[in-house]
Structure 1
């Protein structure tokens, strides 16, 4: 089977599509009161969710070391998105949870992604966007919220 499109273009276009959406998301989050949010923060905040976690568990979920998770927690705590508290069941452990500011960022992100999807629909049409998502579902694992991408990219 032959194609005028080289094989390497597919992953690069998928990555660029992701990058365009994430860049537009963060530009809008900045306008809506979250100028310090960075793409990595979204992975971390999704991993914490509405519950709580520890640096060890967060590192495991993200595929990074406890130290790397701890550094990101430090940043998010400093800019007001998470807070650390003592685990009521084990006072030696610190648990991390989102602050109201962090929850607000996630809620706004969801709304912004809906707006961005609608822009794509305006450009490509509803049927093509639906087909794109349907086709990607066929060739990707079912776990939509796989959050270990930071660890997968690794470090230099």
Structure 2
């Protein structure tokens, strides 16, 4: 039996693990009152953050055009996760902010991710999972909050 593992399997397995966790997150979010959220919405809502942002800044953070950011803002506004307000410092600027419903989705997401991690620890063992996390930290940039994935995927 060969121990050879082709190099392409590593990124595919990492992507599959990501997809599995995200799919399980969204299944649970749907059960907890957030059935309309999609995986890309999480990147957008994280990029908006607690202070809010403009469509231009959001597009820059996500690595997408202002128009693409605006379309996503419209979708999230329609389903109740964000609202547009006037910037108190400059009334010409519109600020996109998370609504209480949007904040609830982020809070629930954090708790669900903790539960998923607990389940992985039960399956793999806490020590092995901590080692995997440490290895991934060692092999990836220090800041895990790269929110430009939407633009990166769009440029494939």
Q: Please give the range of the TM-score, normalised by the shorter of the 2 chains.
A: over 0.9
Q: How does 1:11-22 map to 2 (within 5 A)?
A: 11-22=11-22
Deviation per CA, 1:71-107, whole angstroms, max 9, x where unpaired? 0000000000000011111111110000000000000
Deviation per CA, 1:97-124, whole angstroms, max 9, x where unpaired? 0000000000000000000001101110
Aligned-pair distance for 1:143?
Answer: 1.1
Number of residue pairs matched by the alignment: 155
Aligned with 1:6: secondary structure?
A: coil
2:116 aligns with: 116
Segments of 4+ moved more than 3 angstroms: none
Unaligned runs of 5+ in 2: none
Q: TM-score, normalised by structure 2?
A: 0.97
Q: TM-score, normalised by structure 1?
A: 0.97
Unaligned runs of 5+ in 1: none
Alpha-carbon separation, structure 2, partners of 1:131 and 1:72 = 37
Alpha-carbon separation, structure 1, partners of 2:31 and 2:132 = 29
Aligned-pair distance for 1:150?
Answer: 0.5
Bigger drift between 141-150 and 16-25 goes to 141-150
Aligned with 1:115: secondary structure?
A: helix
1:62 aligns with: 62
Q: How does 1:12-91 map to 2 (within 5 A)?
A: 12-91=12-91
RMSD of aligned residue pairs (Cα, Å)? 1.2
Aligned-pair distance for 1:3?
Answer: 4.7
Aligned-pair distance for 1:155?
Answer: 5.3
